[in-house]
Amino acid sequence: MAKKTVKDIDIKGKKVLVRVDFNVPLKDGKISDENRIIQALPTIKYILAQGGKAIIFSHLGRIKEAADLKSKSLSVVANRLSELLEQDVVFVPETRGKALEDAIDTLKNGEILMFENTRFEDLEGKKESKNDPELGKYWASLGDVLVIDAFGTAHRSHASNVGISNNIGTTVAGFLLEKEINFIGGTLENPQRPFVAILGGAKVSDKIEVIKNLLKIADRVLIGGGMAYTFFKAQGYEIGKSLLEEDKIDLAKELLALADGKIILGDDVITAKTFDPESEKNVRSVEDIPSDEMGMDIGPRTIARFEKEIKAAKTVVWNGPLGVFEFPRFAEGTRSVAEALVEIKDQATTIIGGGDSAAAVIQFGLADGFTHISTGGGASLEYLEGKILPGVACVDDK
């Protein structure tokens, strides 16, 4: 998928609208994970160095009531961005109007402005999220070109990506979006083999289309996490109090048949009697899960089997944790797989598909050990499903 990037256009002296994904977690009014800001810095720095006038905007959370306007302001993000860039970031606490327009008009080459949370426009009528035509046209009028660097919202058709693109002459990708297109899209189009996909998380229903698509492409699909127990049930095993999507048992049977041996579930699990970080852990074979216990992690034999597949791989895509990694006692499976991927980094392309799996490797301090960690959870999933993402499709082709 050959898309134009910010390097393909002349931006000197131009007002460059930059849709980033600064939807960062906040705790007590402070940023608790600034990874998404860090990932956007190369694009922003390039625009400033080229003499562009950078106009940065993003959403932050969902806006449901007036009280959210205070707790979800991007002002704290603007302050942190200013520190990271070591230059002033003009923050305009508006999403439209004369104050914003005047501030943009006074920008000089190499200066940067950020305006308020785009989803403030959702308070009355969800104008941002439903791609209100008038809003997209207005935002497009504020700049000369659009740079999309927000992969996290690429699976959504919003006023701040598709809406602007429909009303502006030039739309290009930033460096982060380019990486996502190249790594995830490129991997699916032409993976080095063996290609191993690792899928975890809670629900089969979240990953149905991903599994179907990856079964066409991957050599092995390793499945763990809560979703594995619906597959175990489909194989006739009793799973105790483990997570189960009863209405997906027949589907799990169909996927196992379709896989023709490609799906690997493992044969042991870690269980506990209660969903508690201090609950006693037990190692159980999948055919021997007691009725009063629930699966919490993959077991040691399964870890060894997964590691064997990983060590032979040339491409690995991983989406979803393999156990309750938030509880240290039940994090061994997820951590072991992460460490196995770090070990093969020099011989293979290793991609973490955003969301909880990205949170896990960051929590383990292993973030530097992978070829690419996606910044989009939902967007990564839809990309892995083989879907066309609106926020990618609207970028100009080369």
Coil, helix or strand at residue 282: strand
3-state SS class at 36? helix
Q: Is the pLDDT of residue 354 over 80?
A: no
Q: Judge if 131 and 246 occupy the same domain.
A: no
Instruction: Supply the DSSP string of 105-166, one letter for each residue.
Output: HTPPTT-EEEE--GGGGGTTT-TTTTT-HHHHHHHHHT-SEEEE--GGGTTS--IIIIIHHT
Query: Domain of 149: which CATH number?
Result: 3.40.50.1260
pLDDT over 60 (residue 281): yes
pTM summary value: 0.88
Shared-domain flag, residues 99 and 226: no
Q: Is residue 389 situated within a structural domain?
A: no
Mean local confidence (pLDDT), 256-273: 96
Does 394 reside within a domain? Answer: no
Look at residue 395 and tell me if it is in a domain. Answer: no
Alpha helices, DSSP H only, in 50-132?
68-71, 75-85, 98-105
167 with 189, same domain?
A: no
| 13: Cα within 13 Å, side-chain hemisphere | 0
- Where in the sequence numbering do the catalytic residues fall? 36, 203, 355, 378
Residues paired with residue 349 on neighbouring β-strands, in sequence order: 315
Q: What percent of the chain has pLDDT over 90?
A: 84
Within a domain: 61:
yes
pLDDT at 376: 83
What end-to-end distance do the CA atoms of the chain give, in Å? Answer: 9
Give yes or no: residues 40 and 104 share one domain. Answer: yes
Let me know if residue 391 belongs to a domain. no
pLDDT in tens, 130-148: 999 999 999 999 999 999 9
pLDDT at 292: 98
Chain mean position to CA 58: 15
For 21-58, write each residue's pLDDT tens digit: 999 999 888 999 888 999 999 999 999 999 999 999 99
Q: Are residues 249 and 366 in the same domain?
A: yes
Same domain? For 89 and 238 the reply is no
Residue-wise pLDDT for 156-170, tens only, equals 999 999 999 999 999
pLDDT for 229 equals 97
Are residues 18 and 159 located together in one domain of the fold? yes
Condensed to tens digits (0 to 9), the pLDDT of residues 64-111 reads 999 899 899 999 999 999 999 999 999 999 999 999 999 999 999 999
Q: Which of 152, 176, 200 marks a domain boundary?
A: 176
Whether 152 and 196 share a structural domain? no
Specify the pLDDT at position 79.
97
pLDDT at 1 over 80: no
> Which domain range does residue 287 map to?
184-384
Boundary of a domain, candidates 149, 176, 203: 176
- pLDDT band for position 391 (cuts 50, 70, 90): very high
- Nearest 10 degrees: CA dihedral of 280, 285, 286, 292? -30
Q: Considering 155, 176, 197, which residue would you say is the last residue of a domain?
A: 176
